[in-house]
Chains A and B, each alone.
Chain A
Amino acid sequence: MVIPKTFKVHALKKHFAKRQVLHEISFSLESGHTHLLSGDNGAGKSTLLRILAGLEKPDTIQLDLGRGVRCWRSIKKELQHHTLYLHQHPYMFDGTVNYNLNYAISEKLTKQERKQQIDEALEWADLKDLANSPAKSLSGGEKQRVSLARAWLKKPAILLLDEPTANLDHESRQRTLSLLEALKNSGSAMLLASHDPMHFPSLIDQHLHLDQGKLIRINEQNLPIDDTAHPSFRSTA
């Protein structure tokens, strides 16, 4: 898969009923970088991720996946092909862990190739002992690891994570963070939504903050950056 280096999002707007959830926001994501998306509950983080995953239709959007700016309609398919959205509570299909991992592998591969990839993913996420366990009966942390193993198998250009460590105990959180680190090193651009930025100290390259539907860049001192200095990053109401 050819992974574009930069993904530019322009003029993204979304409203629900009479409430404007996302004002005309623009930003870019770099491959191999992790972008933290913070904001209070209801700030629009999940909506933004779901739009980028092609699961929610925005009012307006222009996306540049490295091949020129095109409208939402024409690139929705491509976006779904390039992104992987991980729910806050990962959904496990009815079946074993093996079955769930198999789902993320291309159907074009041979049975032998699929088995090899699944074995590698099980090893990668330390799930070997659970390979034949029913996925629905796993703990929250184990489900998160299955979900990340599916991401590792699919190798998306953009990985969209919605509160990946929410409701996890300390050990599960540490294991999730180390898997996220490994995914970052594989070259995916990650957009990670969390209302608590302190959970990901070593992972984050850029901090974006959603406040009342507007996007603000935050520096290392947790202060807003003047966005007029960054043409690829604008937030205009």
Chain B
Amino acid sequence: MQESLHHSTTANDVMERLTTTTLAALELLFSGNPELWEIIAISFQVSGIAILVATPPALLVAFVLSYYHFPGRRLLISLNSTLLSVPAVVVGLTLFILLSRQGPLGEWKLLFTQTAMILGQIALAFPILVAMGHSALQACDRRAWETARTLGANPFRALLTIMREARFGLMAALLAAYGRIIAEVGASMMLGGNILHYTRNIPTAIALESSKGEFAQGIALGLVLLVLAFSLNAFLQHFQGKGQPA
């Protein structure tokens, strides 16, 4: 009886603490706390640039893997699929070794900069874009490419045409890759160093604040990620809905 009462009290404490922290988090968000919004802005900026840089070459690779048959093609597809399961922290560690002062790219002095974070996020987004892009383009009717070419489109215009035809699958690839990199902590922490006003982004800030026991900011930033994930999915659903045949 006494034990049951103790458990109930503990659960109530946790709920109360969670409510208080969430309210504090919402207050932080809506009061326009400059430090918090700066972290959010850095996150969006770094991940936005990474996805913009990674997408064109990744989709080009996806196209080549989908439309051309050459020796080693299957091996490349398998290697890319393998990269999908590499943890972000391993990608971060590899780039850390390359970019560290004694590393082969140490002269570039990129470690603990936003550029290093962008490189890490490109490395994470690339295989996702290639794998999902490859699936989307391979599912696209081969006649789309042939019709475009026979109607006089040059290879570049024909490429844009089949990307338009496969746009729902490609958009899903883009959003999946963006969702992955904006929420990853391992590579950003190792390559950016979590420097306030410079390389501190949403996931590294959450990790830091949680370790200090400052849950309000962590939850506020977690809410931002949640809203972002919902917005991206809602956008994709809306976009795909428009593509339904009339």
A interface residues, Cβ below 8 angstroms from B: 53-55, 80-81, 83-85, 87, 89-91, 93-94, 103-104, 106, 133-134, 136-137, 150, 154
In the complex, what's the smallest C-beta–C-beta distance from B167 to chain A, in angstroms? 8
A94-B243, A137-B245 are known contacts. Are A53 and B150 too (CB-CB below 8 A)?
A: yes
A94-B164, A94-B165, A137-B245 are known contacts. Are A103 and B146 too (CB-CB below 8 A)?
A: no
B interface residues, Cβ below 8 angstroms from A: 141, 143-144, 146-153, 161, 164-165, 243, 245-246
A87-B143, A91-B141 are known contacts. Are A103 and B151 too (CB-CB below 8 A)?
A: yes
In the complex, what's the smallest C-beta–C-beta distance from A17 to chain B, in angstroms? 14
In the complex, what's the smallest C-beta–C-beta distance from B67 to chain A, in angstroms? 12
User: Told that A80-B149, A85-B150, A91-B146 touch, could you supply 18 new A-B pairs with CB distance under 8 A?
Assistant: A53-B146, A53-B150, A55-B146, A55-B150, A90-B147, A91-B141, A91-B144, A91-B147, A93-B144, A94-B164, A94-B165, A94-B243, A106-B152, A133-B246, A134-B245, A137-B245, A154-B151, A154-B152
The closest CB in chain B to the CB of A94 belongs to: B165
The closest CB in chain A to the CB of B157 belongs to: A107
- Tell me the complex Cα distance, A124–B50, Å: 50
Contact A93 B152 (CB under 8 A): no
- Tell me the complex Cα distance, A106–B153, Å: 9
Residues from chain A with a CB closer than 8 A to the CB of B151 are: 84, 103-104, 150, 154
- Tell me the complex Cα distance, A136–B165, Å: 12
- Tell me the complex Cα distance, A55–B149, Å: 8
Residues from chain A with a CB closer than 8 A to the CB of B245 are: 134, 136-137
In the complex, what's the smallest C-beta–C-beta distance from B139 to chain A, in angstroms? 13
A-B contact count (CB 8 A): 50
- Tell me the complex Cα distance, A136–B245, Å: 8
- Tell me the complex Cα distance, A133–B246, Å: 9
The residue in A83, A93, A134, A137 that gathers the most chain B C-beta atoms within 10 A of its C-beta is A93
For this complex, 20 residue pairs linking A to B, each with C-beta atoms less than 8 Å apart, are A53-B150, A54-B149, A80-B149, A84-B150, A84-B151, A87-B146, A90-B147, A91-B141, A91-B146, A91-B147, A93-B144, A93-B147, A93-B148, A93-B165, A103-B148, A103-B151, A103-B153, A104-B151, A104-B152, A134-B245
Option from A80, A89, A134, A137 in Cβ contact (under 8 Å) with B150: A80
Contact B246 A134 (CB under 8 A): yes
- Tell me the complex Cα distance, A137–B245, Å: 7
In the complex, what's the smallest C-beta–C-beta distance from A2 to chain B, in angstroms? 16
Residues from chain A with a CB closer than 8 A to the CB of B148 are: 93, 103
- Tell me the complex Cα distance, A136–B164, Å: 14
Contact A83 B165 (CB under 8 A): no
